[in-house]
Amino acid sequence: MTAYNVVRFRVKPGHEQHFIDAHRQAKPGFKGFRGFALVKTGDRTFCIIGEWVSLQKLAAARPQMIGMLDSFRNDLEDLGGGLGVTDPVSGEVVVNLKAAKPKAKKPAKKKKAKKKK
């Protein structure tokens, strides 16, 4: 069953571009990994959303994900509240809502030319 992981980060002042570049240049070879999106959520705050074929594949890749995190850990600011530099959550999909397909456009009706009297 498809799973996702979401990780929240806050970047130190002046480290934003390095953090973004590290993700842009990443070439994760994790088994069962489908891809990720890095989302800017505010001033120096980001979250990453990763898609996986299963929660088991996600769990198995955690050591490699930590290795990837180590490559930009110095860019991160402690989130406080005992969290450290990341706030990760993960789980299996329980609802997958697809966007509705747009209705096909009807061809425009031809206007009849008015006859001159």
Mean pLDDT, the chain, whole residue set: 91
pLDDT(115) > 80? no
98 in any annotated domain: no
**Residue 60, SS3 per DSSP:** helix
Torsion of CA 26, 21, 87, 54, to 10 degrees: -20
pTM comes to 0.80
pLDDT of residue 56: 96
pLDDT(36) > 90? yes
Report the distance separating Cα 77 and Cα 90, nearest Å.
Answer: 21
Query: Is 64 in contact with 30 (CB distance < 8 Å)?
Result: yes
101 in any annotated domain: no
Report the CATH number that the domain containing residue 34 is assigned in CATH. 3.30.70.100
102 in any annotated domain: no
> What residues make up the domain containing 82?
3-92
- φ, ψ for residue 33 (rounded to 5)? -85, 130
9 in any annotated domain: yes
